[in-house]
Amino acid sequence: MIDLLRNLLKIKSISPNDMGCFDVIEKELRKLGFNCERINYLNVENLYATTGNSGKLFCFLGHTDVVPTGPEEKWKYPPFSATIDGDILYGRGTADMKASVAAFIESAKEFINSSSTMNFRLGILLTSNEEGSAKDGFIDQIIEKMIKDNEIIDFCLVGEPTSSKKVADCARIGRRGSLGGHLKIYGEQGHIAYPEKVINPILLSGDLISNLNNKIWDNGNDAFDPTSFQISNISSGTGAHNVVPGELELTFNFRFSPESSEDSLKSEFESVLNEHNLNYDLEWELNGLPYYTKDNFFIEIVSNSVKEVTDYRPELNAKGGTSDGRFVAKMNSEIVELGPVNKSIHQIDEHIKISELWTLKEIYTKILTKINQVS
């Protein structure tokens, strides 16, 4: 497993390029009897591998692409050298998420070699454009195609790095939605010495921002934090000290729980704007809908597997950014995300603990064994 992982880490598969990771993976999976299919959209590669003849479909979901390294000279070891130092394996894409991909394959191998019967279908679905623009939505297109072909995933294990301090201490049973917007507030430009002749959009935005910041959009629920509102950019001003500007632009984002919806947030946001009698333009951008696995069946299997291997249970939450789980949710699949510690992801010196990767692999194998028992 570690050799396979190191081979994958040495490939510079910066999003959206797979750069041959799938060739390495496919070779391993074919040895195990998987049927491998490449599904390509607009030069982005995806790999869908399955084995088993009948029964429910369990699918590992992951990606082979990685984010850029940043300044390579700041890394302790070159980011694509896959250097091992004691129990630590360094490299871009270790935690996010080539280690999980290696663990998918190793656990599948262990399960297949140790089981006399296979009562379910085992799938591995990998994309090379997870980290890239969500708009490209390649997994989205594959999922649409699978739904059309009646290839419905019953249980989906996403290997994204969900763990916080030690492996498997946290799992995700949902993700918040992401709704962005761009607001332009219009005032009346003029000389700063003639306040009666200007309408200052900067002063107007003060009360507005304060109200938006204090507003409770919802209270969240057991798995979800309350919806949060943030502003990422604000700009106004002509550069001159004696001119009140005529416009102000502001970029904002909601990370929202299923207790709110795209429509409810849009209309509440707009009603706050209207309370302030503003002259404005508003553009919305939906980046992802929230998803939430309500059924306990698969969640219990994952939680029990973690407990049996580690002696603790994962905290089940819906924290973090969006993930490809939101696309699979369209199939009404039961989805749980469980992967390595995420402390170093996207950072300089990204790494994993090798001992924890073996633990993760053991948990994955345990999950497959339990799925087989209940199928």
Closer to Zn ion by Cβ: residue 97 or 301: 97
CB closer to Zn ion out of 324 and 362: 324
For β-strands 155-158 and 57-63, DSSP reports them as parallel
Q: Is 96 in the site for Zn ion (CB under 5 A)?
A: yes
- Helix (H) / strand (E) element for 20: namely none
Size of interface with Zn ion, in residues (CB under 5 A): 3
Q: Which of 90, 98, 29 is nearest to 66 (CA)?
A: 98
Which residue has 């040495």 as its token pair?
A: 10
Q: Is there binding between residue 103 and Zn ion (CB under 5 A)? A: no
Closest CA to 320 of 207, 161, 201, 166: 161
Minimum distance from residue 102 beta carbon to Zn ion (Å): 14
Residue whose C-beta lies closest to Zn ion: 96
Kindly state the smallest distance separating residue 163's Cβ from Zn ion, in Å: 13
Rule CB under 5 A: say whether 97 interacts with Zn ion: yes
CA-CA distance, 254 to 247, in Å (whole number)? 23
Task: Quote the distance between the C-alpha of residue 222 and its chain's center.
Answer: 20
Identify which of residues 96 and 140 has a Cβ nearer to Zn ion in the complex. 96
Q: How far apart are CA 67 and CA 134, in angstroms?
A: 14
Is 295 assigned a catalytic role? no
* 21 contributes a contact to Zn ion by CB under 5 A: no
- Ordered alpha helix ranges (H), the chain: 2-9, 21-31, 99-114, 138-148, 201-214, 262-275, 297-310, 325-328, 354-374
Residue 260 sits at φ, ψ, to 5 deg, of -115, 170
DSSP H or E stretch at residue 15: none
Nearer to Zn ion, 97 or 367 (CB): 97
Residue 279 CB, nearest approach to Zn ion (Å): 42
338 binding Zn ion? (CB under 5 A): no
Catalytic residue at 130?
Answer: yes
Q: Taking CB under 5 A as the criterion, which residues in 137-196 touch Zn ion?
A: 160
Q: Which of 65, 324, 337, 356 is catalytic?
A: 65
Q: Which of 18, 130, 324, 362 is catalytic?
A: 130
Stretch binding Zn ion (CB under 5 A), from 89-97, 202-210, 231-239, 246-254 = 89-97
Report the DSSP pairing between strands 121-127 and 315-317. unpaired
Residues 293-322 that bind Zn ion (CB under 5 A): none
Cβ at position 100, least distance to Zn ion in Å:
9
Cis bond leading into 118, ω under 30°?
no
Q: Which residues bind Zn ion (CB under 5 A)?
A: 96-97, 160
Give the residue numbers annotated as catalytic, written as ranges.
Answer: 65, 130
